[in-house]
Amino acid sequence: MNQPPRVRFAPSPTGALHIGGARTALYNWLFARGSGGTLILRIEDTDRERSTAENVAQIIDALRWLELDWDEGPLSQADGAERHRARIRELVEAGRAYPDPATSEEVKAWKQAHGSAGYRGQPEDRPGAAIRLRVPDEGETVVDDLIRGQVRFENRLTDDLVIARGDGTPLYNFAVAADDAEMQVTDVIRGDDHLSNTPKQLLVLEALGAPPPRYAHLPLLHGPDGKKLSKRHGAASVQELRERGYLPAAIRNYLALLGWGTDDDTTILSTPELVSRFSIERVGRAAAIFDERKLRWLNGRFMRELSPDEYVEAAAAQLAREGHADAAADRERLREVCAIAQEKAQTLAELWPLIGFVFQPPAEDDRAWAKVMKPQVAAYLDAALAVLRSAQPFDAPTLERELTAVVEDLGAKPRDVYQPLRVAITGTTISPGIFDSLAVLGRDQAVARTEAALARLGAQPTTS
């Protein structure tokens, strides 16, 4: 009976979880969840100088926010150092590895004398000697990759692999392979920047007498300019995407499609659909393009599909992150304003500029005032003010009917009346629909702000 798949997501905690790492985590999660397998979270923290507890916490926070859970872990690779040392001693005793006291300068000189041949050391058990794994002089180490096909590496060109430093500390490629064997990992899904490490890890696994896992090396992510994805292309980490107001479900959908696609080119996929349809064999070899504009469009689609309760909770979390705790706590008011903004915002970060006017005084946007509030608009605002004072009830349908009549009576264009009114109540030229905005703001504030705008224009309302 075949063993259920066991996969691992193994980030190095030397920084925040970047977008490429998030896609790797997602692909491992989809593979495990779709196959009834096990996902292990293993923190590869052998780089003790750069690995920090804060970075580990950031990675876990990002995964939890993306709603990517795991079955085992988080496990620290550094915690297995003694186990790794024991396995290295076994390899030395078996003659599969040996101590080599050569300095880096001596190794460099050897390689200069022997051309492209891989370095072969001379065993000598001296204090401070590094431990090297013996690499065969002939043959090939073949990576049978599920995405790239067979990739061959000539053994004669490969150095005897350093698996432990002179102080006995196990090195990365040994620790990774030893842990994969210990944890019975069946499938390794990771970025193809690790492809050059794979033959080394295969040699370690062979020396340990462990079966190799299946490998799938994912194409790297590029920006729209075709260059390797970096901060110049926009958000670089999961936390930055969260701050910019993207939804976890939209990110999962978008990242899944970076390199993989369905056979019918479906673009909008729920997470259960991703789980049921994902196949590592359909991942392409070409670099995938991360374009935040496309993510933003997709996020807008997901936001419009949220239920009112889901939308309010997502909005509240975003407002709290942005420092608008009072607005986030006023759920009843927030529900009212979210209802009129849901069709307009494409990210949660776009909400506050749209709805902030309800919770605080109008924004101080001098450019908006200079553009819209010309002296001649005073007559339009004055006529609109009369409606704001008298409309019964003070709701969007009534306001729309009576303000439309004002526009017709003045022989004006709708924007001639509505845009000054928008600037008067919000301070900006952008808001949800003007009738909805007025209704949610309420009569008292709508009247007071319009009166204040008229006063700033140097005009006095003709009615009171």
Which residues are annotated as catalytic? Answer: 231
Strands (E), 262-381: 288-289
Handedness of CA 172, 176, 177, 178 (dihedral sign): positive
Choose among 220, 203, 222, 213: nearest CA to 145.
213
CA torsion angle 384 387 388 393 (round to 10): -150
Please tell me the distance from the alpha carbon of residue 410 to that of residue 425, in angstroms, as a whole number: 21
SS3 344: coil
The rounded distance, in Å, linking the Cα atoms of 443 and 445 is 6
User: What is the rounded distance in angstroms from the CA atom of residue 75 to the CA atom of residue 33?
Assistant: 20
* Distance separating alpha carbons of residues 204 and 176, to the nearest angstrom: 9
Report d(CA 59, CA 74) in Å as an integer. 10
Tokens of 423: 């600037």
Q: Is 402 exposed, middle or buried (0-12, 13-18, 19+ CB in 10 A)?
A: middle
Residue with tokens 């704001």: 388
Residue 456: count other Cβ atoms within 10 Å of its Cβ. 11
Q: How many of the other CB atoms lie within 10 Å of CB of 464?
A: 8
The length of the chain in residues reads 464
What is the spatial distance between Cα 7 and Cα 21, in angstroms, rounded to a whole number? Answer: 15
Q: What is the 3-state secondary structure (H, E, C) of 142-192?
A: EEEECCCEEEEEEHHHCCCEEEECCCCCECHHHHHHHHHHHCCCCEEEEEH
Q: Is the dihedral of CA 355, 356, 362, 367 positive or negative?
A: negative
